[in-house]
Structure 1
């Protein structure tokens, strides 16, 4: 019989490329080569197969699908499980995620697929609520029906807290326009809203006491957020970052290739995709059997692995403030990833959930590495597109050439064009987002770099 090592098939090539891995594992890596660096092995086999099927025959990006599914798992688990590192350090599984790409890169389809079970359950809750309202009789002493929400697209902060109170397990935010959502948080009046969301990410108790709204409190907020945005837009927002750690709390899915794909004539396998939805629904049903919170601890081997990994972050953090901000949040995300993977993988594999195992911690660290690389990619986008912090940056070159502490936007645009650096619209975009000059009045900017 001909040896598989000499086989010219895809499986044979994968075996030659990746050596001692099983052919199935090697085939997964071969499909991902040059397309994605997401560690698919963190998932059970049926999820891996679903992601690759959608990639092969559905025009789905591997990163977008994998990260969307991971976030859906986080949203489903919610407050049903927490991880207690020690008496003062408890993590819920919430994730804040942004899918970054070019326009037309099919970012919405993976979100739709990943959250189908959640949205179907929401439809069921809506039907139950409508039936309860139709049968509601206050004269008979009936309690007013409560509308239970699992997710929302664009709530006010007060509405989010009140919806969360009706669904203590947690909320998922999926803004239709993620650009508007972030702009609302970091705009001129967004600082207070931003700080409120920072408290939610931390899982800290929330209390709203205002004259214009009914007082409301939430002891255990657990809110996952996911949306998509174009690369140049998120880079412009990051350039305006007020350095309070908001952007460091966001996990970015940035594919190796940000490009539109050709549509395949073959459709994804219906049975495989439906099996995925069915199993996600089963996990959701299991979570809602018990609306309390179960706290898991790290196994001894998982704790050793976690401490070793976090300690590796100390030196690079001490050398660079930007790196420090990214890694400090990823240290906490490691625990969240481990929690999500332990609960979901144990359920799908029919295993009891006792504590966070070393296997889940290893996979969590793989995820940390993936999101760390993407955080650095985003920082490079800011430098490459807006170049505010680069010594050879376009903004700096233009301002130095103008040679005045105070200048108009017209002078900047004309000089940028004269130097061959940027045409009108791009030049104005550079100026609008730079940190090297600030607007003192309409059309007039001031800089300190010439002092």
Structure 2
């Protein structure tokens, strides 16, 4: 019989059982819980009830709400921390989870009010376009008879969300949609893969500029130039952990990946359906909250909110702490995460203040201390998630990243082999041809070059 741990020798069985249960609870706690408490009471209620009835993971529904609020705010408001330093509410969100972990449904649910508004605007557009076509079908004589009437202009669809677009169409949409737009890419990898589909490298720079709020200038040979003074495009999409590496590929030197907010819940698993129905009032409450923001007028320039004195002091203290942390780290990758998350702290402050306004908890006269404190908690969550993703990308075993056929080939190779031997094994297993194999063995994470035509496996 195994001896009792000396720590428990003088304890009663009930005390020992309680101790073990407490330890189990501590082990099951999330290491990086999503800070639901930073949101207004109504939003906390929505997150809790959709989690209980629809089994939306708290992290996913919380992030989806942030995205929807970002799109609804658009170019109506900005925030200023000091003269010459303003931020908008643009977010680039990446929902990370395995297949079946309910990534897409929380986004679709939160976007219902925006989709409904787009549907109404599209119906109006169709009606206007019908009149426009009717006018164009008139003969020159009939058109001349209507000279005193206002000729219908070619209508445009004022939309808030786009999912399938070319770079040119996106700039045109932004040109006449002054509020800004949201991009919803169900599979975020598709958004990345499109970057170089039209003009190699230029589209990635385009997205970097949008994130920074830099004015967009488009010059074309075949049409009039376009200048977008206040570009606003928030992005959300889902991605499976195995695809994360594709997102980081060739996008680390310019810091693009540091602009992504990763939502990576701890211990996420597919859950059973719940028999508890969602109260219809919950969806009604969400529609009302978002409508309060969608009904805000867009002026020639966004309305700029300042920080209250105590909120500004809190934000400056946050900057000081983060700067010290940044200066102490020796990792360029981690330093990049800290640099971009600092700007997100300001954006989160704006988002939370506007959300409190939409829930009738603020008059949005200034960014409050409560909003800054909530923003700092959100920063901690996304900062920890980014570091977690960084470790996944950089510390994973290279063998684990290989597809099944290459794993089989790697196992079949001798510890030391010649190029000719490796090619024969590869052809026999029908994994890759000669040229591809010769390129593959150059991977320094998998193979060590010994001498001409001879390699050693490292794993």
TM-score bucket (shorter structure): 0.7 to 0.9
The aligned counterpart of 1:50 is 46
SS of corresponding position for 2:384: helix
Match among 266, 269, 273 for residue 256 of structure 1: 266
Kindly tell me: are residues 106 and 401 of structure 1, through their superposed partners in 2, closer, same or farther at Cα, counting changes over 3 Å?
same
Equivalences for 1:311-326 in 2 at 5 Å? 311-318=320-327, 319=329, 320-326=331-337
The aligned counterpart of 1:301 is 310
CA distance, structure 2, for counterparts of residue 433 and residue 152 of structure 1: 42
Q: How far has the Cα of 1:112 moved from its partner?
A: 0.8
1:241 aligns with 2:237: no
1:193 aligns with 2:189: no
Q: How far has the Cα of 1:135 moved from its partner?
A: 2.7
Kindly tell me: are residues 343 and 55 of structure 1, through their superposed partners in 2, closer, same or farther at Cα, counting changes over 3 Å?
same
Equivalences for 1:129-168 in 2 at 5 Å? 129-136=125-132, 137=135, 139=143, 140=149, 141-168=151-178
The aligned counterpart of 1:348 is 359
The aligned counterpart of 2:339 is 328
SS of corresponding position for 1:355: coil
The aligned counterpart of 2:291 is 281
CA distance, structure 2, for counterparts of residue 446 and residue 369 of structure 1: 48
Q: How far has the Cα of 1:379 moved from its partner?
A: 1.1
Kindly tell me: are residues 130 and 257 of structure 1, through their superposed partners in 2, closer, same or farther at Cα, counting changes over 3 Å?
same
Q: How far has the Cα of 1:55 moved from its partner?
A: 0.8
The aligned counterpart of 2:374 is 363
Q: How far has the Cα of 1:65 moved from its partner?
A: 0.4
Equivalences for 1:48-447 in 2 at 5 Å? 48-136=44-132, 137=135, 139=143, 140=149, 141-185=151-195, 190-212=200-222, 214-285=224-295, 287-288=296-297, 292-318=301-327, 319=329, 320-385=331-396, 387=398, 436=444
Q: How far has the Cα of 1:240 moved from its partner?
A: 4.0
CA distance, structure 2, for counterparts of residue 434 and residue 241 of structure 1: 21
2:104 touches 2:186 (CA, 8 Å); kept in 1?
Answer: no
Select between 326-335 and 133-142 the one with higher mean Cα deviation.
Answer: 133-142
Kindly tell me: are residues 35 and 123 of structure 1, through their superposed partners in 2, closer, same or farther at Cα, counting changes over 3 Å?
farther
2:353 touches 2:362 (CA, 8 Å); kept in 1?
Answer: no
SS of corresponding position for 1:143: coil
1:254-292 Cα distance to aligned partner (Å, 9 max, x none): 11123211111222122222222232123212x137575
Kindly tell me: are residues 361 and 403 of structure 1, through their superposed partners in 2, closer, same or farther at Cα, counting changes over 3 Å?
farther
Kindly tell me: are residues 339 and 144 of structure 1, through their superposed partners in 2, closer, same or farther at Cα, counting changes over 3 Å?
same
> Paired residues, what number?
396
1:338 touches 1:364 (CA, 8 Å); kept in 2?
Answer: yes
SS of corresponding position for 1:185: coil
Q: How far has the Cα of 1:298 moved from its partner?
A: 1.7
Question: Structure with the greater relative contact order (CA < 8 A, sep ≥ 6): 1 or 2?
Answer: 2
**Gap runs ≥5 in structure 1:** 1-16, 18-29, 389-394, 418-423, 439-444
Q: How far has the Cα of 1:84 moved from its partner?
A: 1.7
1:147 touches 1:166 (CA, 8 Å); kept in 2?
Answer: no
2:122 touches 2:158 (CA, 8 Å); kept in 1?
Answer: yes
1:303-360 Cα distance to aligned partner (Å, 9 max, x none): 2211211222224323221111001000000000001111121231253211111111
CA distance, structure 2, for counterparts of residue 409 and residue 113 of structure 1: 55
The aligned counterpart of 2:10 is none
2:53 touches 2:276 (CA, 8 Å); kept in 1?
Answer: yes
CA distance, structure 1, for counterparts of residue 188 and residue 40 of structure 2: 30
**Gap runs ≥5 in structure 2:** 1-21, 137-142, 144-148, 400-406, 447-452
2:311 touches 2:372 (CA, 8 Å); kept in 1?
Answer: yes
Kindly tell me: are residues 265 and 208 of structure 1, through their superposed partners in 2, closer, same or farther at Cα, counting changes over 3 Å?
same
Q: How far has the Cα of 1:434 moved from its partner?
A: 9.9
- Relative to the length of structure 2, the TM-score reads 0.77
CA distance, structure 2, for counterparts of residue 379 and residue 101 of structure 1: 15
2:290 touches 2:358 (CA, 8 Å); kept in 1?
Answer: no
Bigger radius of gyration among the two: 2
The aligned counterpart of 2:33 is 37
CA distance, structure 2, for counterparts of residue 446 and residue 284 of structure 1: 65
